[in-house]
Amino acid sequence: MNIVIFGAPGSGKGTQSERLIKRYGLHHISTGELLRDHISRGTHLGKVADSYISKGLLIPDELMVEVLADIFKEHPETAAKGVIFDGFPRTIAQAEALSKMLSEYGTDVHAVVGLEVDEDELVRRMLERGKDSGRSDDNIDTIRKRLDVYHRQTAPLKEYYLSQGRYHAIDGNGDLDRISDDIARELDQHKDKK
Ligand code: ATP
Ligand code: MG
């Protein structure tokens, strides 16, 4: 089973992914964490990524798809085992590239979990996280920019996956355990239907 965890910045993708990995034994691919790791190591990719991230912009599709393709090439077993994609895809072009890459391994995106959170709650969470995350993008100006970019470039993916019957909306406000339980219920129902 390959799952995409989808949602606005601050919607809790990372937090809920950690819980899903434990429950379903999936491999976790977080593009945000991967890029932050490159930034902290000062690699070439990290320097390029930082120039976009600190402005609240997305890394260009072509580069992002290349990064993903490299992960699959280096770890072909991950695609076979089942992956939870956290932070990817963020554009329609990335979604199309992902399906194409997965099809080369005889698989596809099976379910998209959409964490839906009120905008003022998103801002509150990111400002709270910014107090000790050390992230260059968790400040109010960059948060506003990220939300704007999300609405323009990423949110259209909801319609895209809805039209494919793969989108599962989850109320991402409120208690962490309740949200995990809701996700598990949706995914278990999805598995049973297959
Ligand atoms: P959450 O709080 O829900 O985990 P987040 O806002 O912290 O979400 P990350 O996934 O950690 O978001 O990504 C941080 C930044 O890394 C993004 O704002 C973007 O600049 C860059 N990035 C991550 N994934 C992608 C991608 N697929 N395409 C382009 N840029 C990306
Ligand atoms: Mg994250």
State in Å: Cα 182 to ligand 1 middle.
Answer: 23
| pLDDT, mean of residues 75-79 | 80
Pair 5, 180: CB distance under 8 Å: no
Say which ligand is closest to the CA of 5: 1
| pLDDT, mean of residues 15-24 | 93
Distance (Å, whole) CA 123 – CA 184: 26
- The full set of domains in the chain, from first to last, is 3-183 (3.40.50.300)
Measured CA to CA in angstroms, residue 1 lies from 53, 153, 175 at distances of 30, 26, 26
Q: What is the DSSP letter of 7?
A: E
92 or 82: which leads in pLDDT: 92
| pLDDT, mean of residues 29-34 | 96
State the pLDDT at residue 125.
Answer: 97
**Cβ-based neighbours of 82, under 8 Å, separated by 6 or more:** 1, 2, 3, 24, 25, 26, 27
State the pLDDT at residue 194.
Answer: 60
| pLDDT, mean of residues 116-132 | 97
* Predicted structure pTM score: 0.94
- Closest ligand 1 atom, residue 53 Cα: 20
Confidence of residue 61 (pLDDT cuts 50, 70, 90): very high
| pLDDT, mean of residues 107-128 | 97
Tell the residue nearest (CA) to atom 19 of ligand 1: 58
Distance (Å, whole) CA 29 – CA 15: 13
State the pLDDT at residue 80.
Answer: 75
Query: 37-41, 75-79, 81-85: lowest mean pLDDT where?
Result: 75-79
Kindly give the pairing relationship between strand 167-171 and strand 27-30: unpaired
- Closest ligand 1 atom, residue 86 Cα: 10
